Amino acid sequence: MRATAVTVAVVFVALCATFTVLAGGKSGKPRPRLQAAVARTEQVGSERYGIHVRLTRDGAPLSLHIHGQASRHTVSVNMHTGTVHLADGTSIPGRRGAALLDGQFLYELAPGGAAAYGPVHWLRLSVPSPSSSSDLRTVHALTPAPMLRVLESASARRSGPGTFRGTLAYDDPVVRNGLSSLTGGIQFRRLRFTVTVGSDGLVHRIVVIGRTADGRTALSLRAQLYAFGRGVHVTPPAPGTFLDRNLDRLKI
Model pTM score: 0.80
Q: How many structural domains does the chain have? A: 1
**CATH assignment of the domain containing 186:** 2.50.20.20
Interacting residues of 213 by C-beta distance below 8 A, sequence separation 6+:
21, 22, 23, 24, 187, 189
Cα–Cα dist 125/9, whole Å? 17
Decide: 141 and 149 in contact? Cβ < 8 Å. Answer: no
Cα–Cα dist 125/105, whole Å? 6
Cα–Cα dist 172/181, whole Å? 15
Specify the pLDDT at position 234.
86
Cα–Cα dist 147/175, whole Å? 8
Cα–Cα dist 185/251, whole Å? 36
Question: What is the tens place of the pLDDT at every residue in 126-163?
Answer: 886 655 567 778 888 899 999 999 998 788 898 888 99
Collapsing DSSP to helix, strand or coil, 210 comes out as strand
Residue 69 within any structural domain of the chain: yes
Residue 238 within any structural domain of the chain: yes
Residue 252 within any structural domain of the chain: no
Q: Which residue segment(s) compose the domain that 165 sits in?
A: 6-247
Specify the pLDDT at position 28.
46
Residue 22 within any structural domain of the chain: yes
- Among 221, 215, 212, 169, residue whose Cα is nearest residue 21: 212
Decide: 138 and 181 in contact? Cβ < 8 Å. Answer: yes
Specify the pLDDT at position 113.
54
Cα–Cα dist 178/238, whole Å? 33
Can you say whether residue 196 is alpha, beta or left, with left for phi > 0 and alpha for psi between -120 and 50 degrees?
beta
Specify the pLDDT at position 112.
57
Cα–Cα dist 198/203, whole Å? 6
Specify the pLDDT at position 201.
95
Q: Kindly report the backbone phi and psi dihedral angles of residue 203, in degrees, each rounded to the nearest multiple of 5, phi listed first.
A: -75, 120
Beta strand extents in 103-153 (DSSP E only): 105-109, 122-126
Decide: 223 and 51 in contact? Cβ < 8 Å. Answer: yes
- Among 189, 147, 184, residue whose Cα is nearest residue 64: 184
pLDDT by residue for the chain (252 residues), tens digit each?
A: 444 545 555 445 545 554 443 233 344 444 458 989 999 999 998 999 999 999 998 878 889 999 999 998 899 999 998 887 766 777 777 888 899 998 888 999 876 555 555 688 888 888 866 555 677 788 888 999 999 999 987 888 988 889 999 999 988 999 988 898 888 888 999 999 999 999 999 999 999 999 999 999 999 999 999 999 998 888 889 888 888 865 544 443
